[in-house]
Amino acid sequence: MKKFIPSVANIHGVDLSTYKVIKRNQLACKLMSVGRDEQLPVDILKEYETAIVSAAYYVFESADERLLLSDYLMMWLSRRETDRWVGYISGGDVRGGISWEQFCELPIFIPPIEQQMYVVQTNKSITSRIRLTDNLVHKSAETLQAIYKRWFIEFEFPISSEYASFIGKPELVGTPYKSNGGEMVYCEDLEQEIPKGWRYARLDEMATINAGGDVPEVFSEVVSEECSIPIYSNSTEKEGIFGYTDKAKITKKCITISARGAIIGYTVLRLKPFFPIVRLIIVTPKEGCFLYYLYESIKNLKYDSGASAQGQLTIPEVSAIRLLEPDQSIMKKFQNMALAMGSFTEVIKSQNKVLTDLLTILSAKMSGRRNEIH
């Protein structure tokens, strides 16, 4: 990764004499396995005046800040083109590493210092905006989870006008259900009380369960006019995107669950048509209002990757998962709230896409592929 990670190791009794000292605005990089990892691990120290890093890292800095800004140098080394360059240079090394001497041969396009300052400031502004929008998306998800817990675990969903009229207490409309005397019944399976009218049901009673298949014949690694339908696989990288094809296999809004490996149970909400492939399970709600409730319920489940002989989830296992099935009117309210938050999140993600594209353009300008930096 292109950033320092504070060590959590116990250094009591460890000989630190071999470690290297790094000071603020100095950079450090590791040159072993850069070809195999296809990435140059590098970062610039900003948070502390001094720190120590492993002896495996090289510590360096700009020879003259008046000619080359350290922040600009960090941006240059963080470019994907630099990763490809070190990967290419390491081709002859068994472990995929390069020497310090080879690293020093890395070509750097150095514009006038004023342009460097502008590029650095522009980069900071864009990345700061991306962090802000990422935080908004995270907070939105946290808010929805908090509402889910309040409504479907603590049973403190708002009392409806129909129920308030039924019990003859119209003043209770909108107040929390359980704490205001909402009727509860005992569920033997859960060994606890649940709201009257709710039931403990199998997942396949609320949704259709399917599995992904083979990679389609029409396949492209990049999106194009012909291949615009995403292919999703058993992966967390880019939410499982594997490639693109021309026809969708799944057209309804649904939920996917990674069915094997260390990421077993990784859950993603799919709102657009797609094509699923192996080791991916698809959960399609039988009622539209089930979607967000099931998504929040499923992603909070705990899975044991070693529970089955193959260490994987199967359709029968997922079908047999049991969840509370709330009253549909409550799920519809939750769905409407989630849809509003989802629309907000999609707008934010679209903004992030534009900002990320701007960083790509900025990177291209740094290399001199663009004549001017406006």
Q: Which domains does the chain have, with CATH numbers?
A: 16-110 (3.90.220.20), 199-324 (3.90.220.20)
Asked if 237 and 231 touch (Cβ cutoff 8 Å), the reply is: no
The SS3 call for residue 25 is coil
235 DSSP 8-state letter: -
Q: With cut-offs at 50, 70 and 90, classify the pLDDT of residue 225.
A: very high
Burial status of residue 273 (CB atoms within 10 A of its CB: 0-12, 13-18, 19 or more): middle
* Mean pLDDT value across residues 60-64: 95
User: Is the predicted pLDDT of residue 13 greater than 90, yes or no?
Assistant: no
| Secondary structure class of 144 (helix, strand, coil) | helix
**How high does pLDDT run on average in the chain?**
90
Q: Does the pLDDT of residue 144 top 50, yes or no?
A: yes
How far apart CA 341 and CA 99 sit, in angstroms, is 50
- The full length of the chain comes to 374
Long-range pairs, 189-196, Cβ under 8 A, ≥24:
189/322, 190/324, 194/155, 194/324, 195/155, 195/326, 195/327
Query: What residues contact residue 116 under an 8 Å CB cut-off, 6+ apart?
Result: 68, 69, 72, 110
Q: Is the pLDDT of residue 92 over 70?
A: no
pLDDT at position 298: 96
Per-residue pLDDT for 370 more than 90?
no
Note the pLDDT of residue 36: 79
Question: 267, 240 in Cβ contact below 8 A?
Answer: no
Query: Which tokens sit at 218?
Result: 């029409």
Nearest partner of 103 among 24, 22, 34, 23, judged by Cα: 34
Using 50, 70 and 90 to split pLDDT, how confident is the model at 338? very high
Q: pTM, whole model, 2 decimals? A: 0.78
- Residue scoring higher pLDDT (311 or 366): 366
Strands 267-270, 20-23: pairing is unpaired
Is residue 290 exposed (0-12), middle (13-18) or buried (19+ Cβ within 10 Å)?
buried
Tell me the C-alpha distance between 175 and 33, whole Å.
59
Mean pLDDT of 315-330: 95
φ/ψ region of 145 (left if φ > 0, alpha if ψ in -120 to 50, else beta) reads: alpha
Residue 32 pLDDT exceeds 90: no
Backbone angles phi, psi at 340, to 5 degrees: -65, -45
Rounded Cα gap, residues 304 and 315, in angstroms: 15
Task: Assess whether pLDDT exceeds 60 at residue 104.
Answer: yes
Question: How far apart (Å, rounded) are the C-alpha atoms in residues 374 and 365?
Answer: 10
